[in-house]
């Protein structure tokens, strides 16, 4: 199933457009293939314009459908990127094959059928299709150097890039990559983020350079996929010019030939779910074509095995080691007892004093194509709350280092109340590292009952300004008091030492 040019609108939205002369609300966009040698650009404005023309010329149609030919695969409701962000991807099919597939999809679909098409890829259990890593390759750009207004949207109060917004973009890209891997079959399925293994920031994101973000599926199990995403600067010596980015030309190369500095690396675990049964669904296997791809696949398999081993030895499942218990006891004797004769220094902060709460209403503007709250939106909220907890404790600016072991336990429905709590778990002196844990709960407004939806672990590092970070006076140390806090302290420490 590879529809190329279908835009579906809700029938109710069309009625509102006709009666109130308002812009129709576009519920879903399906733009599955950008034809080779096409310079057609896609934007929400062009879609809205085409929709208005269709409504005025087809006012008697019961099921209006607009067709805009030859546009890039976007899954707009999922990606939610600004129109100025440039998209590019690798179309591995031949031109004749693409035309044939497109011709089969020329028949307009009803809004319901088109919406189902937009919100799911598919798995054909009768025919197992192997996909290459190139089949899921997707490439976008953040042209900070050439687009000042875009850069302004991503700046924080310190004049640096808002990492939370970038993390939001990474999750959206990973979802689209996973959807591309499962594209081309008949049984509908949805792709959801199950977890984030790790997102590592290797160097500060520059504000004066264009940024390239790309990725593809690197490992598959039966129902899950590992999606690897990288962020790089666009090399000034590359063939991609600022004019190309500004004109939104689409790259069709598999990988950048002349990349700049690697900035960030991320691994997402995506799971396929059958839209009819809501159960995990089989994904397409990977066809490994080179020795490099086979090595990448082996690393993914080894990483999965290590994760399973680590989960078995985690603190909820296994008691602390003797060394860890000795550390906890030394902390208890030093500061935690009420009879201690050692006064608490000014740079010591009790762990419970680092707790920070936020309550968030969830709105339709933050939903994904499955009508649930977009995972990237939750990631950004967690990042910002974790930053608040850490920076208030440290009393200075911080640099994001990593996010790992992010769990998506249940989907967050639109309209839900989201209770998020962040707490500093561990601090380290020699590099100013701060580990923060964030939990998100969906609150039932009627009963007040809460259900855990997400778990996040983030690591920051203090940014030296005018002070000499690392001295006993400047370094702020977090200390646990209860047994639960001691376990949290050890868990945070493990994330820096493992």
Q: Which stretch of 238-242, 458-462, 478-482 has the lowest confidence by average pLDDT?
A: 238-242
Residue 60 pLDDT greater than 80, yes or no:
no
Residue 485 pLDDT greater than 80, yes or no:
yes
- Among the candidates 259, 274, 292, a domain finishes at 292
Residue 16 pLDDT greater than 60, yes or no:
no
- Among the candidates 256, 277, 292, a domain finishes at 292
Residues 106 and 160 in one domain: no
Residue 387 pLDDT greater than 70, yes or no:
yes
Residues 52 and 185 in one domain: no
Residue 94 pLDDT greater than 60, yes or no:
no
Residue 70 pLDDT greater than 80, yes or no:
no
Residues 157 and 221 in one domain: yes
- Among the candidates 268, 292, 316, a domain finishes at 292
- Please, which residues have CB within 8 angstroms of residue 73's CB and are 6 or more apart in sequence? 31, 32, 33, 34, 89, 176, 180
Residues 215 and 201 in one domain: yes
Task: Report d(CA 353, CA 84) in Å as an integer.
Answer: 42
Evaluate whether residue 85 is within a structural domain: no
Evaluate whether residue 304 is within a structural domain: no
Higher pLDDT pick, 12 / 300: 300
Residues 99 and 125 in one domain: no
Residue 223 pLDDT greater than 90, yes or no:
yes
Evaluate whether residue 108 is within a structural domain: yes
Q: Find the mean pLDDT for residues 157-170.
A: 93
Residue 263 pLDDT greater than 70, yes or no:
yes
Task: Give the tens place of pLDDT for each residue, 398-411.
Answer: 999 999 999 999 99
Residue 472 pLDDT greater than 90, yes or no:
no
Whole-model pTM: value is: 0.72
Task: Give the tens place of pLDDT for each residue, 303-339.
Answer: 999 988 888 888 888 889 999 999 998 888 877 555 5
- Grade residue 36 by pLDDT with cuts at 50, 70 and 90: very low
pLDDT at residue 252, rounded to an integer: 37
Higher pLDDT pick, 21 / 363: 363
Higher pLDDT pick, 169 / 466: 169
Evaluate whether residue 314 is within a structural domain: no
Residues 3 and 34 in one domain: yes
Higher pLDDT pick, 241 / 170: 170
Residues 461 and 492 in one domain: yes
Higher pLDDT pick, 334 / 143: 143
Q: Find the mean pLDDT for residues 258-274.
A: 89
Q: Which stretch of 74-78, 217-221, 462-466 has the lowest confidence by average pLDDT?
A: 74-78
Phi first, then psi: give them for residue 305, nearest 5 degrees.
-65, -40
Residue 11 pLDDT greater than 80, yes or no:
no
Residues 6 and 41 in one domain: yes
Higher pLDDT pick, 278 / 438: 438
pLDDT at residue 234, rounded to an integer: 85
Residue 248 pLDDT greater than 60, yes or no:
no
Residues 204 and 282 in one domain: yes
Residues 113 and 163 in one domain: no
Is 9:25 a contact under the CB 8 Å cutoff? yes
Residues 264 and 162 in one domain: yes
Q: Find the mean pLDDT for residues 140-154.
A: 89
Residue 51 pLDDT greater than 80, yes or no:
no
Task: Give the tens place of pLDDT for each residue, 322-381.
Answer: 999 999 988 888 775 555 556 778 889 999 999 999 999 999 999 887 789 999 999 999
Residues 131 and 142 in one domain: yes
Please give the residue range of the domain that contains residue 150: 120-292
Domains in the chain, number: 3
pLDDT at residue 273, rounded to an integer: 87
Which domain CATH number covers 458? Answer: 3.10.129.10
Q: Find the mean pLDDT for residues 418-428.
A: 97
Higher pLDDT pick, 496 / 11: 496
Residue 8 pLDDT greater than 60, yes or no:
no
Q: Which stretch of 151-160, 222-231, 386-395 has the lowest confidence by average pLDDT?
A: 151-160
pLDDT at residue 238, rounded to an integer: 66
Task: Report d(CA 229, CA 170) in Å as an integer.
Answer: 7
Task: Give the tens place of pLDDT for each residue, 183-222.
Answer: 865 667 788 899 999 999 999 999 999 898 999 999 999 9
């Amino acid at each position: 199933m590879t529809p190329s040019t279908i835009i579906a609108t809700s029938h109710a939205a069309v009625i509102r457009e006709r009666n109130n002369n308002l812009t129709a609300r576009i519920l879903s966009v399906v733009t599955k293939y950008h034809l080779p040698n096409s310079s057609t650009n896609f934007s929400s404005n062009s879609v809205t314009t085409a929709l208005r023309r269709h409504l005025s010329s087809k006012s008697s149609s019961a099921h209006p459908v607009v067709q805009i030919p030859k546009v890039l695969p976007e899954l707009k409701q999922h990606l939610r990127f600004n129109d100025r962000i440039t998209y590019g991807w690798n179309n591995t099919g031949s031109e004749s094959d693409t035309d044939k597939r497109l011709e089969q999809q020329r028949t307009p679909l009803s809004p319901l059928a088109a919406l189902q098409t937009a919100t799911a890829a598919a798995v054909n259990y009768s025919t197992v299709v192997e996909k290459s890593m190139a089949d899921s390759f997707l490439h976008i750009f953040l042209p900070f150097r050439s687009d000042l207004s875009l850069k302004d949207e991503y700046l924080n109060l310190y004049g640096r890039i808002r990492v939370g917004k970038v993390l939001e973009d990474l999750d959206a890209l990973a979802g689209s990559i996973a959807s591309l891997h499962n594209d081309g079959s008949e049984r509908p399925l949805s792709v959801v983020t199950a977890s984030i293994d790790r997102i590592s920031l290797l160097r500060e994101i520059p504000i004066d350079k264009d940024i390239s973000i790309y990725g593809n599926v690197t490992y598959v199990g039966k129902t899950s996929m590992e999606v690897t995403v990288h962020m790089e600067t666009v090399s000034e010596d590359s063939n991609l010019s600022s004019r190309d980015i500004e004109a939104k030309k689409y790259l069709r190369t598999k990988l950048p030939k002349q990349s700049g500095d690697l900035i960030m690396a991320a691994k997402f675990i995506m799971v396929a779910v059958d839209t009819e049964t809501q159960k995990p669904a089989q994904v397409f296997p990977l066809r490994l074509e080179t020795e490099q791809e086979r090595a990448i696949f082996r690393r993914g398999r080894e990483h999965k095995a290590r994760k399973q081993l680590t989960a078995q030895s985690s603190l909820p499942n296994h008691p602390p080691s003797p060394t860890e218990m000795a550390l906890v006891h030394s902390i208890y004797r030093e500061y935690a007892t009420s009879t201690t004769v050692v006064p608490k220094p000014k740079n010591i902060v009790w762990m419970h004093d680092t707790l920070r709460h936020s309550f968030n209403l969830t709105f339709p503007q933050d939903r994904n194509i499955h009508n649930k709250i977009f995972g990237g939106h939750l990631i950004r909220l967690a990042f910002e709350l974790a930053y608040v907890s850490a920076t208030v404790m440290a009393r200075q600016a911080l640099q994001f280092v990593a996010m790992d072991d992010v769990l998506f336990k249940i989907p967050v429905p639109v309209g839900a109340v989201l209770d998020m709590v962040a707490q500093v778990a561990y601090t380290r002196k020699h590099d100013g590292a701060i580990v923060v844990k964030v939990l998100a709960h969906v609150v039932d407004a009627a009963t007040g009952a809460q259900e855990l939806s997400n778990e996040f672990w983030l690591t920051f590092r203090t940014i030296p300004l005018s002070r000499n970070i690392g001295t006993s006076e400047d370094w702020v140390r977090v200390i646990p008091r209860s047994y639960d806090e001691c376990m949290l302290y050890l868990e945070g420490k493990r994330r820096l030492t493992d």
